Structure 1
Amino acid sequence: MHVVATAGHVDHGKSALVRALTGTDPDRLEEERRRGLSIRLGYAWTSLPGAGDVAFVDVPGHERFITTMLAGVGPVPAVLFVVAADDLWMPQAAEHLAALDALQVQHAVVAVTRSDLADPAPAEARVAAQLDGTSLQGSPVVPVSSRTGSGLPVLRARLVELVTHVPVPDPHADVRLWVDRRFTISGAGTVVTGTLPAGTVAVGDRLGTGTGTVRVRGVQTLGRTVESVSGLARVALNVSGDVTDLDRTGCLTTPGAHRWTEVIDVRLVGEVDRLPLQPMLHVGAMSLTVRCRPLADDLVRLTLPQPLPLRVGDRALVRDPGSRQVWGVQVLDPLPPPLRRRGAALDRARALRAVSGEPDLVSEVDRRQVVDVDTLRQVGVPDLAAPGPVVRAGRWVMSAGRAELAAGQVLQTLAEHDRAHPLERGLPLTVLADRVGLPSPDLVAAVVREPLRVVGGRVMAAAVDVLPAELERALATLADDLAGNPFQAPTADRLRDLGLDAARVAAAAKAGRLLRLAPGIVLMPDADRRAVDALTDLPQPFTTSEARSRLGTSRRVVLPLLEHLDRARLTRRLPDDRRVVL
């Protein structure tokens, strides 16, 4: 399906032209037909050879209904712009054109209606001059008459060319449906309508409303009941569940795929001179009053009265209700940092000047420094696996600059800790993450560089065997004590004489300089291998007493030593309490 919105001044024949193209009256309300003008959005559709189904969103042209017009144009990428041959270039036509230009709509056909009542040539020249310099410049202009049918075949051909050149939306994209109408049908319940720009909605789907979810009970498009529909399409959804938010948020989205935000940093398109403090923001099918805070030049911050699911690159309109001036809006950051200090606005503007407004992985990560992949998806980054100078760790992505800074911070923090605590070498990843301001220990592990290494969840210097001088002297003395009998562990008194308290023993064991079998029982680090060599000479299996005699030690030492050998899978304990060397 293709969707085309109409635009143009009131009473220039938009609805009559849609009726002539489709055979359906888009004015649904009795009041519209009585007054001869569109008040609410109207819809009609037809099938065009070479294009298939084409739905028309007929918008009101009267100045009182400009917000309704913008609700119809906002989600639609193609426009049928209507001017009358027997009238001048009118204010609402100018306002509609300014809005379309601000939204950067580039796919359009211009129809000069009532060409049977006046020579269309002057109107063609006027509209071409007005389009010059706008996003609609160069659009084909076709004189038509809805009453006689003159020019309609040519217009249909131009519409086929128009819709077939609109980029095809991704049917697998996240759903974001701006609701332009909500009503209740007896026996069915709540029904909402809107233009689905991309993605797919199917019966049974759940869609988010901002604070809750609804379930899709039924899907219709162009008056037909279907199981699913993909954008671009006009859809009507029968929904159940938490529908109360729809009046306020006016949007249905794929759950968890968007971040609903109340503050956005944007770039304005148009002459930025004096901005109103409380302009109207028109986005999707929504119109709401926002607060505007200038940052610098064409960069401003908008504060919304309610959360909306906006992404980087989204286009919208800001409108001054007083002067009727409009500006295009391109969302640069839907999750901006707070501005809490003097000069923060200018600093923020400097950070945003280089932002293109097209979401990409490197740009978003550079600006945010550290961000989780869910947030990147929610703000609209299309390819989370794209190559680039970023550091990935678990569900986190970090900029190259922040990674370099973090690597230095980890090195400095660890050096300071080791100097202050020479017997407690290294720090856990979780502790380091907190000290250097990273949200995950995975990120710390990702930036560890030589001469550091990660061992058992701790970061420590590669030269872990370097110990304080007094401890080295104590270990050398202990090695001399055990040289004659390597399994005669020193007594508690001897350890105390050597200055080997529990902390120093733990440090030496962590550095691989002692074998700690139990509290207060230590041997040299190669004692287990030497014990296996000695026990291999015994008849297998052997008893604990035989092991004690062979090693020349006491039960105080041999019991924890044998348990250590069992744990190290150097020996195996049998059911009768004897052992064999493996």
Structure 2
Amino acid sequence: MKRYYTIGMAGHIDHGKTTLTKALTNMDTDRLKEEKERAISIEPGYAPLVMGEDMEVSVVDVPGHEKFIRQMIAGVAGIDAVLLIIAADEGVMPQTKEHLRILQLLGVKQGMIVFTKAEGLEEEMEELLKEDIESYAKDTFLENSPVYFVDSISNRGIENLKEDIHMMLEKTEERKPGSSFRMPIDQSFTVKGQGTVVRGTVFNGKVEEGDVLRLLPQQKEARVRQLQVHHEKRTSSRAGQRTALNLGGIEHTEIHRGDVLVKGSYPVTKTIDVALTPVDLYKLELKQRSPIKIHIGTSEIYGTIVFFDRNSLLPGETDTVLCQIRLDEKVVAERNDRFILRRPTPVETIGGGTVIDPYGEKYRFGSETIQALAKKKEGTPEERIIFLLENDLSLTTKELAEKTSLSGEEVKQFGAESEKIRELNGWWVKEEEVVLRLDDLLNKLYAYHEEFPLRPGKDIAELLKEIPHREEPARLLIDHYVERRKIMKRESYVSLPDYTPAYPKAWARRMEQVEQRITKAGIEVPDFFETCREAGLKETEIMELRSFLLRTTMTALDEKHLINKSEVEKAAVRMRAASGEAFTLQEAKQELNLSRKYLVPLLELFDRMQLTKRSENKRIWK
């Protein structure tokens, strides 16, 4: 299954983000005339980064200039990992620090630190630059992250960086597409002969050609005529992919950056309760009901901040504050969505955090409201359980009880009442996860059967390692699907319900020739490997065929020879009838008329099959 990721390039202006993006992707993301003329990025640029057939990666090159922080925030919304770019000839600069704080507040958890313009840089200077950035990265998601020195012109370190990006993403959990489709829009325009086109990064779910979507907050409908991922036509797109949608039934002038295309239900609101974490960058007191700008997804909306336990927020305060944002316009915001809060004038970043409740109401000033917000922040029991299962995928009743401050009985009660979670013999998983894992499992088995048509199925131990759960819940999920006949389990193998091992079409005739030749030979069978090579089979097919025959109609006479099981049975019956309780090698030779080349291995096979037991120069029937 292909995995999809979006990575961001962040950092101070003129530190080489766009040049590095081009070195990695072979694409110039500065597309506007003004960007070319001024040699700076004004809008986020996007480019595909080739990472092999199993992974599709979008690179977002965000503007570095302080005047374009809005565009920077819009660009990094929805990224899975980031490269913090620092020019080796300048070091850490103001936007380096601000971008790092913003990324931290937006919940980015994976990243690398990359020093550009490093051609000819001395080792001693590299160490000084490392020490400098390590102090700024302390207590952030980039603490202990790898540091790279590259040069985009000479290509120093580019291939190594690219390889390590792939390794980082291999360890990064991709976005789960299970929830309803949501794509914040960052560009809207018209294409001659096509009509309205919008671009964005898919936050949640999946979209397909023909889907009817709703544009929020306008509540207008639009149909997906076509879609592209990095200029390549597709029939569908999913969470984590950079996507362009050609829409019917709506004009591009009706759509603005910050609007959101959705399927299903998403909150549209003007009042949100939030948990705000201030940063150590702002310099002026933020007073009660001060004007603010909030960035959510690709939206930038003005409003006012309302405190319930203070009259102002002072520079240097970094403890999380429970408060409310009252907006001038409607915004699409869901519980736990990340946001950035900035002061409009003088412009500075105040902090960021998460949405507690997208449907905030008017509350009284005082401790009671703070307590209520704190309780709301924790969520309902069902919400808390679901939130934990989104991160850990599967937990026992005891583990959920410990993490939610509920009793085991309460966990069982709320779990039984919820349609969104399921219990599997003491383990809890989201119903959505049960469906998602089944789809993934069916796809894996289909691909496995295509690749190995002679095998009885995928080994259950191997399959368990590929399910992103601990072994016990992974095994319970498999048993759950087996019970509902979605998959089939034979001994230690799992397969699709209607699957039967069979010779692959490309090799069927040659494999049948080998089987027929061995069968016709009776006991005096030819060398299996030579027979296969004479039939034109390759080494891989030979070993697959050998394993298949040993599981079905044949057994090993010795290392080089396979023999039909029925021939062994006939020889045993014939020998038992002629010999009585025991027989010698000479008696067996006389009865079966075989040379020692075949007779000795056959009698040893009798021993291995526990039909006989050797005693001195005789074999005794069991």
> TM-score interval w.r.t. the shorter chain?
0.5 to 0.7
Counterpart residue identity of residue 255, structure 2: L
Aligned counterpart, 1:347: 368
SS in 1 for 2:370: helix
The secondary structure found in structure 1 opposite 2:348 is coil
Q: Work out the CA distance in 2 between the residues paired with 1:60 and 1:271.
A: 21
Instruction: Determine whether 1:328 maps to 2:328.
Output: no
Structure 2 distance, partners of 1:52, 1:364, is 31
Same amino acid, percent of matched pairs: 30
Alignment partner of 1:37 out of 29, 36, 40? 40
- Contact 2:16 2:116 (C-alpha < 8 Å) held by counterparts: yes
Cα offset, 1:118, TM superposition: 3.4
Give the distance between the partners of 1:386 and 1:3, measured in 2 at CA.
36
Report what 2:500 is aligned to: none
Q: What secondary structure sits across from 1:290 in the alignment?
A: strand
Structure 1: distance between partners of 2:134 and 2:56: 29
Query: SS of the counterpart of 2:68?
Result: helix
Matched residue SS, 1:325: strand
1:445 matched to which residue of 2?
none
Given the two structures, how large is their TM-score scaled by the length of structure 1? 0.60
- Offset, 1:113: 0.4
Selected match of 1:294 from 295, 307, 314 = 307
Give the partner amino acid of 2:243.
Answer: V
Alpha carbons of structure 1 residues 83 and 254: separation in structure 2 relative to 1, 3 Å: same
- Separation (CA, whole Å) in 2 of partners of 1:391 and 1:53: 39
Pairing 1:46-445 to 2, within 5 Å after superposition: 46-49=49-52, 52-119=55-122, 120-210=126-216, 211-243=219-251, 245-247=254-256, 250-255=259-264, 257-270=265-278, 274-275=285-286, 277-296=290-309, 298-321=321-344, 322=346, 324-339=348-363, 343-344=364-365, 346-356=367-377, 361=382, 387-389=412-414
Residues 107-138 of structure 1, C-alpha deviations (whole Å, 9 max, x = no match): 11111101115333322221122111112212
Contact preservation (8 Å) 1:50, 1:160: no
1:318–1:326 CA contact under 8 A, matched in 2: yes
**Which residue of the partner structure matches residue 550 of structure 2?**
none
Q: Distance in 1 between matches of 2:175 and 2:208?
A: 17
Letter of the aligned partner of 1:174 in structure 2? S
Letter in 2 for 1:195: T
Residue 283 of structure 1 deviates from its aligned partner by: 0.8
Q: What does residue 538 of structure 1 align with?
A: none
AA at the equivalent of 1:62: H
CA separation of 1:215/1:17 partners in 2, compared to 1, >3 Å: closer, same or farther? same
Call closer, same or farther: CA 1:271–1:81 in 2, change over 3 Å. closer
Q: Distance in 1 between matches of 2:201 and 2:110?
A: 17
Instruction: Name the SS of the counterpart of 1:56 in structure 2.
Output: strand
The equivalent of 2:436 in structure 1 is none
Deviation (angstroms), 1:392: 6.4
Partners of 1:362 and 1:182 lie apart in 2 by 35
Deviations 1:41-90 (A, max 9, x none): 11111212486322111111011111000100112121111001100311
Give the letter aligned to residue 18 of structure 2: S
Larger Rg: 1
Q: 1:531-542 maps to which residues of 2 (within 5 A)?
A: none
Change (3 A) 1:336 1:392: farther
Confirm or deny: 8 A CA contact 2:20 2:152 kept in the other structure. Answer: yes
Q: Give the whole-Å Cα distance in 1 for the aligned partners of 2:163 and 2:263.
A: 36
Residues 28/323 of structure 1: CA separation in 2 closer, same or farther (3 Å cut): closer
Indicate if the aligned counterparts of 2:378 and 2:384 stay in contact, CA closer than 8 A. no
Alpha carbons 1:249, 1:306 under 8 Å: kept: no
Partner of 2:538: none
In structure 2, C-alpha distance between the alignment counterparts of 1:359 and 1:90, rounded to whole Å: 43
Q: Tell me: CA distance 1:303–1:391, structure 2 relative to 1, closer, same or farther (3 Å).
A: farther
Q: Deviations over 1:395-416 (max 9, x none)?
A: xxxxxxxxxxxxxxxxxxxxxx
Partner of 2:561: none
Preserved CA contact (<8 Å) 2:112 2:147: yes
Relative to structure 1, the CA distance from residue 362 to residue 253 in structure 2 (aligned partners, 3 Å threshold; closer, same or farther) is closer
**CA-to-aligned-CA distance 1:158-197 (integer Å, 9 cap, x gap):** 2112222222222231111110111100111110000112
C-alpha spacing 1:165/1:290, structure 2 compared with 1 (3 Å): farther
Q: Does structure 1 conserve the Cα–Cα contact (< 8 Å) formed by 2:10 and 2:62?
A: yes
Contact 2:212 2:222 in 1 (8 A): yes
Aligned partner of 1:353: which letter?
Answer: A
Q: Which amino acid aligns with 1:20?
A: A
Distance in 1 between residues matched to 2:350 and 2:339, nearest whole Å:
10
Deviations 1:344-401 (Å, cap 9, x if unpaired)?
5542211122344567526699xxxxxxxxxxxxxxxxxxx9854599699xxxxxxx
Is the Cα contact below 8 Å between 1:109 and 1:158 reproduced in 2?
no
Q: Which residue of 2 aligns with 1:443?
A: none
**Residue aligned with 2:286, SS:** coil
C-alpha contact (below 8 Å) 1:79/1:107 kept by paired residues: yes
Change (3 A) 1:130 1:222: same
Q: Distance in 1 between matches of 2:62 and 2:249?
A: 30
User: What TM-score, normalized by structure 2, do the two folds share?
Assistant: 0.56
Contact 1:7 1:80 in 2 (8 A): yes
CA deviations 1:310-352 (Å, max 9, x no partner) are 111111111124251331221111112333xxx4554221112
1:454-500 CA distance string (max 9 Å, x none): xxxxxxxxxxxxxxxxxxxxxxxxxxxxxxxxxxxxxxxxxxxxxxx
Relative to structure 1, the CA distance from residue 308 to residue 345 in structure 2 (aligned partners, 3 Å threshold; closer, same or farther) is farther
